[in-house]
Structure 1
Amino acid sequence: MDITRLLFFIIFVWQKYESLANTVENPVQECFGFCDQILDPNSTYEQKWNETETRIKTLQDKIIQIENELAKPKPKIDGFIQIGSRYFHIEVDFRVTWYKAIQLCLDKGGQLAVIQNEEELNAISAKLDEGSSYWLDINDLAYEGQFESWASGKKTPYLKWYHGEPNNVNDDEDCVFLKNREMSDIHCYSSLYYICQSDIVDW
Structure 2
Amino acid sequence: MNILSLLFCIIFFGKNYESLAKTPENTVQQCYGFCDLMLNHNNTYEEEWNATETRIKTLQDQIAEIEKELEKSKPNTNRFSKIGTRYFQIVDYHYTNWFSASESCRELGGQLAVIQNEEELNAINAQLDENSAYWLDINDLAYEGQYVSWTSGKRPSYLKWFYDRPGTNSDIEDCVLLSKKAMWDQICTRNAYYICQSDVVEW
Q: TM range, normalised to the smaller chain?
A: 0.5 to 0.7
Deviations 1:66-101 (A, max 9, x none): 765422123534221111121100011121000000
CA contact (8 A) 1:168 1:185 kept: no
Match of 2:111 in 1: 111
RMSD: 2.4
Is 1:70 paired with 2:70? no
What TM-score does the superposition give when structure 2 sets the normalisation length? 0.64
Moved over 3 A (4+): 63-69, 74-77
Deviations 1:173-192 (A, max 9, x none): 00000012100100000000
In 1, distance between residues paired with 2:98 and 2:168?
Answer: 16
Q: Give secondary structure in 2 for the equivalent of 1:82.
A: strand
Match of 2:183 in 1: 183
Q: Which amino acid aligns with 1:167?
A: G
Distance 1:139 1:68, change over 3 A: same
Q: Which amino acid aligns with 1:133?
A: A
What TM-score does the superposition give when structure 1 sets the normalisation length? 0.64
In 2, distance between residues paired with 1:164 and 1:194?
Answer: 22
Match of 1:136 in 2: 136
Deviates more, 1:162-171 or 1:122-131: 162-171
In 2, distance between residues paired with 1:147 and 1:80?
Answer: 26
Distance 1:171 1:131, change over 3 A: same
Q: Which amino acid aligns with 2:177?
A: F
Larger radius of gyration: 2
Q: Which amino acid aligns with 1:87?
A: Y
CA contact (8 A) 2:140 2:175 kept: yes
CA contact (8 A) 1:168 1:174 kept: no
CA contact (8 A) 2:97 2:188 kept: yes
In 2, distance between residues paired with 1:105 and 1:193?
Answer: 12
In 2, distance between residues paired with 1:102 and 1:178?
Answer: 15
Match of 1:167 in 2: 167
Q: Give secondary structure in 2 for the equivalent of 1:171.
A: coil
Deviation at 1:170, TM superposition (A): 6.6
Distance 1:133 1:67, change over 3 A: same
Q: Which runs of 5+ in 2 are unaligned?
A: 1-58
Q: Which amino acid aligns with 1:93?
A: Y
Distance 1:154 1:64, change over 3 A: farther
Q: Which runs of 5+ in 1 are unaligned?
A: 1-60
Q: Give secondary structure in 2 for the equivalent of 1:169.
A: coil
Q: Which amino acid aligns with 1:70?
A: E
Match of 1:201 in 2: 201
Aligned-pair identity in percent equals: 53
Q: Which amino acid aligns with 2:151?
A: A
CA contact (8 A) 1:76 1:110 kept: no
